[in-house]
């Protein structure tokens, strides 16, 4: 869904990406920064019981990780430095980042573990269905209501609200469990129709 907006944002990201290129930042460096920020965010989630403000830090790190992820693609396109290996590693590290965040939320008792596992499974399968469909030539970008940008925004917003109302993140995980698996269904139907 937000991927349609992302295509428009690519134009907005062009000038900052060019500035990053001038100071020697590469797409791979941004990919590495994104996974590091995601892992730091995951760790910060596990510390929330010592101080609820860790949730604000976790949300901020998660958003910064997502921003780096957006910039690495923009920078690769601008520099015409897109490679199959870079694309593969970016996708792989995004899955590790997603898994780390969900696992941290689950083990930190911020959500019901069953719903957390359903949301994690759905999140991984959203990516898997896209990869499998595109492997057989079916375009999958923009198909589905819960692609990665939407999931990051939902988690970050819910995390901030959780500072004031502790059940918010649990409800967000339930919502993501439903939306991610609905996205998998949408992509499955789209693939079936195109075959």
Report residue 194 as tokens.
Answer: 């195109």
Alpha-carbon distance 150 to 1, whole Å?
A: 8
User: Catalytic pick from 69, 72, 90, 94?
Assistant: 94
**Which residue intervals of the chain are DSSP H helices?**
2-22, 27-45, 53-78, 84-107, 113-135, 148-162, 168-194
Report residue 118 as tokens.
Answer: 């359903």
Alpha-carbon distance 181 to 122, whole Å?
A: 5
Which helix (H) or strand (E) segment holds residue 136: the answer is none
- Specify whether 94 is catalytic: yes
Q: Is 137 left (phi over 0), alpha (psi -120 to 50) or beta?
A: left
Q: Terminus-to-terminus CA distance in the chain, angstroms?
A: 23
Alpha-carbon distance 164 to 60, whole Å?
A: 16
Q: What are the residue numbers of the active site? A: 94
């Amino acid at each position: 869904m937000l991927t349609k907006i992302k295509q428009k944002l690519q134009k907005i990201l062009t000038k900052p990406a060019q500035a990053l290129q001038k100071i020697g930042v590469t797409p791979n460096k941004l990919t590495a920064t994104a996974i590091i920020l995601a892992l730091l965010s995951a760790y910060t989630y596990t510390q929330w019981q010592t101080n609820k403000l860790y949730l604000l830090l976790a949300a901020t790190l998660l958003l910064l990780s997502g921003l780096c992820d957006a910039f690495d693609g923009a920078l690769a396109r601008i520099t015409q430095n897109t490679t199959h290996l870079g694309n593969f590693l970016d996708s792989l590290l995004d899955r590790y980042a997603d898994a780390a965040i969900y696992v941290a939320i689950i083990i930190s008792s911020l959500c019901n573990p069953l719903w957390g596992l359903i949301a994690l499974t759905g999140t991984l399968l959203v990516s898997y269905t896209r990869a499998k469909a595109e492997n057989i030539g079916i375009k999958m970008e923009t198909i589905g209501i819960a692609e990665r940008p939407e999931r990051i925004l939902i988690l970050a917003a819910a995390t901030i609200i959780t500072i004031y109302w502790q059940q918010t993140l649990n409800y967000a995980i339930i919502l993501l469990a439903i939306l991610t698996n609905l996205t998998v269904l949408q992509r499955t139907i789209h693939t079936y129709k195109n075959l």
